[in-house]
Amino acid sequence: MSRFAAPIAEQIWDMKYRFKAQDGTAIDGSVEDTWRRIARAIASVETDPAKWEEKFYHALEDFKYLPAGRITAGAGTGRAVTLFNCFVMGTIPDNMGGIFDGLKEAALTMQQGGGIGYDFSTIRPRGAEVKGVAADASGPLSFMDVWDAMCRTIMSAGSRRGAMMATMRCDHPDIEAFIEAKKDPARLRMFNLSVLVTDPFMAAVKADGPWELVFDGRVYKTLQARDLWNKIMRNTFDFAEPGVIFIDRINTMNNLSYCETIAATNPCGEQPLPPYGACLLGSINMAALVKNAFAANAALDLEALDDLVRTAVRMMDNVVDASRFPLPQQEAEARAKRRIGLGVTGLADALLMVGARYGSVEAATITDTWMHAIARASYLASVDLAREKGAFPLFDADKFLASGSLAHMDADVKDAIRTHGIRNALLTSIAPTGTISLYAGNVSSGIEPVFAYAYTRKVLQKDGSRTEEEVVDYAVRLWREKMGDAPLPEHFVNAQTLPPLDHVRMQAAAQKWVDSSISKTINCPEDISFEDFKEVYMAAWDQGCKGCTTYRPNDVTGSVLSVSEASDKTPSEAPANGQQDGEVIYLSEPLDRPAALEGATYKLKWPGSEHALYITINDIIISGHRRPFEVFINSKNMEHFAWTVALTRMVSAVFRRGGDISFVVEELKAVFDPRGGAWMEGKYIPSILAAIGGVIERHLIEIGFIEGEGMGLKSDPHAEVVAIGAPRGKSCSSCGSFEMRMIEGCMTCASCGYSKCG
């Protein structure tokens, strides 16, 4: 009998978490082998490894406790990878040498698979004087472009997809440019952006008072706080970025406020961390702990929850000792404070199973009760560990207990901490769990509502073909098993139908008992007014959230609706043929090459290069429309030979797959050459690859494939439209399908599982 509740769960395990040799031979024969590997590796630091291996195995068994993907894939493999999920890098000095030292550290961290966060507020603004060199500063955004290029380079070298967070204070002189940076779709694609919003700024916004933009004691500009707030809101409304981080609240509530200052977070925002801070993540599967689901006496097993949380805390504490670290500073920081991030997944499914509507006052009250139980068990487990193994090295009882997040903790827990100390400085966090939630049987992700009761997913088979399969939410599948064809109850709501302020209510209820932060996306309807949209952020501030991330579908961000969500029918009512109104079908096999093609050849002379490049782009005709089919790049310069051949093969392969291939242009145009670009036809081109991207873009415009420079796809003759109705999402840069959606702050592809955040 398979342990997997759904085919997609087994596929995720095989693709992402199953230990395999370099040649692809499976070493983990079953998911039980994976659980055993993880349990043995994490127990290896114990004085009685055999005892704890069994305890840890049973916590992992049947997906009750879900370590984050880095641990699940890496523990016990012997590979040189970090088991920590997220890092914030060191403070960036305001000098060229320090900036590029920081860039090197970031590259080394990302090479081992770590997502990173940086505060760019420490770099002087654009136009500020640079003493000693008779020049003006280029500003933090120019250096963010360098980081962006580094991340692309690390990705192209075959490492795990890069994920970066950039933050900037709301009083930095370049904050307006930072807010609007993502208006250029080709810029800073490797970054998530968030504004560090302070308490004085929010007070000025509410009072409609003035706000000074300051650096190094000098006031560069004064503007109305509300005008700056509206600029943040307008860009988030239109482009889904930047996010908002309430940084003073984070520092006030930080258990370690007496020995660290936080200015950045990891890429998804659930881990505010100090310079060189690192954290590991794991989640309790709440859906697996519900007894008598859908019955009148349905309830979460609080006794089982307490035991599981205590085991999970011990496992995560052991990972601090078992893991490698990209940098020695990160190791020292992690072991001095031993912070962990235990969270939940499957919360929405658990609420459905006990009869509560996600977003309701009742659901928020239940969430408060459950999260309180988790926080209490976590802190008491860490106290027990301190009695056995010692408190974290920087523990100071009086200062620790005076922090904001301990103010509402139970008196007996605080007494225990004062008497025995505590092993881990921070214990709770709610992370994005998209992939591990699928692995656990498609439970609802993190504390998010159910995104869709069911959807169709394209699966790449070993022979290269693609099949479609229905992916059903865990709670819906359980309902079908227990209730047959009975219609879903009214309390089964999803992310698209939920009012935004209900999202905020749930985030605030969970935040009360989370000492770090929460990764959550508040889905807003496309037709929400700008004033109502701004109210979502003000509600998050007023209700005690530490940050806010929203997603409103529109022509720029794409639609979050997919086939199943567009239908009012429940999965059991869906048509038998699997087709829904608005479905768009894309060819799943590459096109064959005709004997003859039409095309054009372009000459590109890069300044300083002796020989020109000749770029030939051939097109194919489909349904009377031209679309690019292949690219050839030729040059007499033999130094160009290897990379031009590689580039032509890759780009041509993408062209032949069909779908929206305009992202190729965006990617090429964004490549930055650290040796410097060149001015061509009155424009600064950052690299020769960017120039090639410009040539391809010009060709696509000339054949009518895209509307104009930077405008993206005009029409797709490779698509057969079955029916008109549902809007498409953004195209996925991995598989080309139009299934990108915002989940927990990350654009994620429902078709192939690609996530911008890795």
Catalytic residue list:
266, 268, 270
Query: What is the distance between the alpha carbons of residues 314 and 247, in angstroms, rounded to a whole number?
Result: 30
The answer to whether 432 and 743 have CB atoms below 8 angstroms apart is yes
- Residues 522 and 504: beta-carbon distance below 8 Å: yes
Side chain identity at 370, as an amino acid letter?
W
- Residue 103's beta-bridge partner residues? none
The distance between the two most distant Cα atoms of the chain, rounded to a whole number of Å, is 82
Q: Which helix (H) or strand (E) holds 678?
A: strand 678-680
* CA pair distance 602, 614, nearest whole angstrom: 6
* Cβ pair 405, 255 in contact under 8 A: yes
Q: What are phi and psi of 240, to 5 degrees?
A: 65, 10
Measured CA to CA, the distance from residue 657 to residue 735 in angstroms comes to: 9
- DSSP assignment letter at 92: P
Cα angle value 58/62/66 (rounded, 5°): 80
Q: What are phi and psi of 692, to 5 degrees?
A: -65, -40
**3-state DSSP call for residue 487?**
coil
**CA–CA gap between residue 223 and residue 212 (Å, rounded):** 7
Task: Supply the DSSP symbol for 430.
Answer: B
CB 474 within 8 A of CB 287: yes
> Which among 71, 122, 69, 64 has a CA at the least distance from the CA of 92?
122
Residues with Cβ < 8 Å from 31, sequence gap 6 or more?
3, 4, 10, 13
State the CB neighbour count (10 A cutoff) for residue 10: 16
| 535 C-beta neighbours (distance < 10 Å), count | 16
DSSP H/E element including 553: none
Q: Where are the alpha helices (DSSP H) in 44-117?
A: 49-60, 69-74, 96-111
